[in-house]
Amino acid sequence: MENIGEILRHLREEQKQLLREVSAGVEIDQALLSKIERGERLPNREQVLKLANHFHVRENELIVAWLSDKLVNELVNEDLASEALKIATIKLKAKKNNKEV
């Protein structure tokens, strides 16, 4: 599975854009964008949305990749991460159901 940085690099390369072109187009520092592509930094939500718009891809596609990377980065060293994620999924569904009632 690709992380958000790999996805962004592939999109940029597929569209034959230089790093500086993308960074200027979405108003992100070129060095920061490079770090994002290399997986050294995560973009923020606003940057992800700007990048989705710039590359003309569905926002949800990039948001899901970004959120999953955030979760992995937070939980990578936790022995009980899988168990916690299962419970979190149940809690998310319960909260969603309560809002829809």
Looking up residue 38, the CATH number of its domain turns out to be 1.10.260.40
The CA-CA-CA angle for residues 96, 85, 1, to 5°, reads 105
Please state the domain count of the chain. Answer: 1
Mean pLDDT across 71-90? 93
Expressed in angstroms, the distance from the first to the final Cα of the chain is 36
What percentage of the chain has pLDDT greater than the value 70?
A: 97
Domain that holds residue 57: 4-76
pLDDT of the residue at 101: 42
Mean pLDDT across 62-75? 95
Q: Is residue 11 part of a domain?
A: yes
* Mean pLDDT, all residues of the chain: 94
CA distance 39 to 66: 11
Q: Is residue 63 part of a domain?
A: yes
Render pLDDT for 27-59 as a digit per residue (tens, 0 to 9).
Answer: 999 999 999 999 999 999 999 999 999 999 999
Question: What's this model's pTM, rounded to 2 decimal places?
Answer: 0.85
Q: Is residue 87 part of a domain?
A: no
Q: Are 36 and 43 in contact (CB under 8 A)?
A: yes
CA distance 29 to 22: 10
Q: Is residue 81 part of a domain?
A: no
| Chain centre to alpha carbon of residue 15 | 19
Residue 82 has pLDDT above 90, yes or no: yes
- Nearest Cα neighbor of 4 from 33, 30, 29, 26 is 33
